[in-house]
Amino acid sequence: MFLDELTLASLSSEGVVPDETGSIGLWRIVVVKNLPYKDMRRVGKVPKFLAQRLFPSAMYSIWLDSKLRLNADPMLIIEYFLWRKKAEYAISMHYDRTCVWEEVLQNKRLNKYNHTAIDEQFYFYQSDGLLKFNESSKELVLPSYVPEGSFIVRAHTPMSNLFSCLWFNEVNRFTSRDQLSFAYTYLKLRRMNTGKPFHLNMFKVI
């Protein structure tokens, strides 16, 4: 579990402190310092997308947002979402939206990020070929263009690692709203690597 010093102090004030091994329950605590961004949402994308860099010996990783709790054996999760589907990357679809155009409007409506920055990102993606999601298209390669993003299961394969790095690059280059850059990153990866399939399992939240 990655925590900054402020969050660790907040937990400690509530009586939740690491034990002598540096763990809280089953979680080994990693206190991060010298953070690369002032925007904490953007800081959170480092462990979210770059687990293969943080843990170079790991074969798999599971990302859980802070609103989720792990209630199952991690190996069962890997088996269900990756091995059973013959996938190397699994991510949930958004429960309500499928099109980036809708996600852009919602981000603006809720003032999730600076509107000018969102427009700059969105216009660039359109100029580079991003089209509206059309579920009746014969060339549809994703069941949705908008992920939920709070739960990701990955095998650290070359294509999975490449996708994660490319997605992080978009978050670093534009806004921290990673739902906006998911489809663009995935579609461009497919377009630029036609001979190297990337096995993605995008599933509905039940």
The pLDDT value recorded for residue 66 is 80
The pLDDT value recorded for residue 68 is 86
**Does the predicted model carry a pTM greater than 0.75?**
yes
Below-50 pLDDT ranges, the chain: none
The pLDDT value recorded for residue 26 is 86
The pLDDT value recorded for residue 139 is 82
Paired sense of beta strands 147-155 and 60-64, if any: antiparallel
The pLDDT value recorded for residue 205 is 79
The pLDDT value recorded for residue 95 is 92
The pLDDT value recorded for residue 169 is 98
Q: Which residues pair with 27 in a beta bridge?
A: 24
Q: Are 179 and 149 in contact, with CB atoms under 8 Å apart?
A: yes
The pLDDT value recorded for residue 78 is 98
User: What does the alpha-carbon distance between residue 204 and residue 108 come to, in Å, rounded to a whole number?
Assistant: 25
The pLDDT value recorded for residue 1 is 84
Q: Could you give phi then psi for residue 19, rounded to 5 degrees? A: -85, -170
The pLDDT value recorded for residue 206 is 66
SS3 state at 99 = coil
The pLDDT value recorded for residue 138 is 82
The pLDDT value recorded for residue 16 is 93
User: What does the alpha-carbon distance between residue 3 and residue 52 come to, in Å, rounded to a whole number?
Assistant: 19
